Amino acid sequence: MDMKLDGKRALVTGAASGIGQAVAQGLAAEGAVVAVHARSEARAAETVDAIKAAGGKAFAVGADLQKPGEIPGMCARAIDKLGGIDIVVNNAGVADLASVIDMDEALWDRVMNVNLKAPFLVTKHTAPTMIKQARGGSILYTSSTNGKSADADWSAYNTSKHGVIGFMKCMAAELGRHSIRVNAVCPGWVATKMADEIHVKLASDASLPFEAVYDESMRANMLRSIIPTKDEADMYVFLASEHGRSITGQSINVCAGLCYW
């Protein structure tokens, strides 16, 4: 399927590794110029270098999303260097597990700032340019199957991801008249560094071998498969392309059947 994005200009947050890195590479492979966001420009270098080595175009933009004051400037730098913007992927996220009883306020604030407030601010500081350009666009959010479920000890993360879906739906309604499509992708367990780190904690808490806990959890889906980041990236590229031109306001699972609603 031809999903060329030649001439499109994209910003991907949290693109130093994992799903964000795969999305940035996927967009660039289809012809988009990509502003690769990470906490610092140095952290984005691996993704930028990989895109350039494959013949694509990319550059780094840095901002600590735990510091809301850094976000407007990051968006402005990205738009300036891109010469406009057509695709925004709000992917950056953190996951901290704790019961509400044991959770301190700083943990809750960290998860909400990165997972929910940052997408709000990135949207606020990129959508006006899309509107002014009058050529439509695509804004994407990384939610999660956790954004459709309830899980003990995951309250901060799940709440933030439920919020992402709600915010996405509101933005789809708000921006649709400008031909800007807004959607969310909901990954299940995906083979990322974050998944590794979470399963180290889960295995430790259960006093079980990491390999056993990881394999059982990661394959707890209908296909019994471990999902590579490219499978997630393919959905973002599809939604950003003209093939997704009639899709907006949707939260789409890419989870091998872990979640079916």
- Residues designated catalytic: 157
| Dist CA 30 CA 164 (whole Å) | 27
Phi, psi of 37 (to 5 degrees): -90, 140
Give the sign of the dihedral formed by CA 163, CA 175, CA 35, CA 64: negative
58 and 35 in contact (C-beta within 8 Å)? Answer: yes
Residues in the chain: 261
* CA torsion, ordered 75, 78, 79, 85, to nearest 10 deg: -100
| Dist CA 102 CA 215 (whole Å) | 28
| Dist CA 249 CA 237 (whole Å) | 16
Q: Angle at the Cα of 10 (from 26 to 174), degrees rounded to 5?
A: 115
| Dist CA 40 CA 65 (whole Å) | 10
Tokens of 216: 């059982």
